[in-house]
Amino acid sequence: MKYCQGTKCHTYDTSDRKRGVKGSKTNQTRKRTKFDYGHGDFCTLQCQDDWFRTHGTNAVNHFGRVTSPIILTEDNAWQRTWNRVYWEDTTQPQWVEVNTITKATRPIEGGQ
């Protein structure tokens, strides 16, 4: 079990967040075995967004702010793309790699 990492998770008023007995009730951060957002760390997109509003700038500064453009060149521009030819001829590969810069097409390394 793990807790949602949302910085305001406990402030959303839902019955599954309520704990305690009448007179001493609290709302608590959600705890589950698995969450569906933010690589499994957040219970909702709202909680993920709350975390980013609180920590996003510090996180970017900590892990390295982009200070110059990241450049797409022919060497790293290959992207897996659905093969249009496959529509008419199913003996052709269903997926190919297309170079975003040159528009060249090549088979996917290692097949499908």
Q: Can you give the binding site for Zn ion, defined by CB under 5 A?
A: 4, 6, 9, 30, 43, 47
Q: In whole angstroms, how close is the CB of 5 to Zn ion at the nearest point?
A: 8
Using the Cα atoms of residue 56, residue 61, residue 63 and residue 66 in order, give the sign of their dihedral: positive
Between 6 and 78, name the residue whose CB sits nearer to Zn ion. Answer: 6
For the chain, the straight-line distance linking the first and the last C-alpha, in angstroms and rounded, comes to 37
DSSP character at residue 36: S
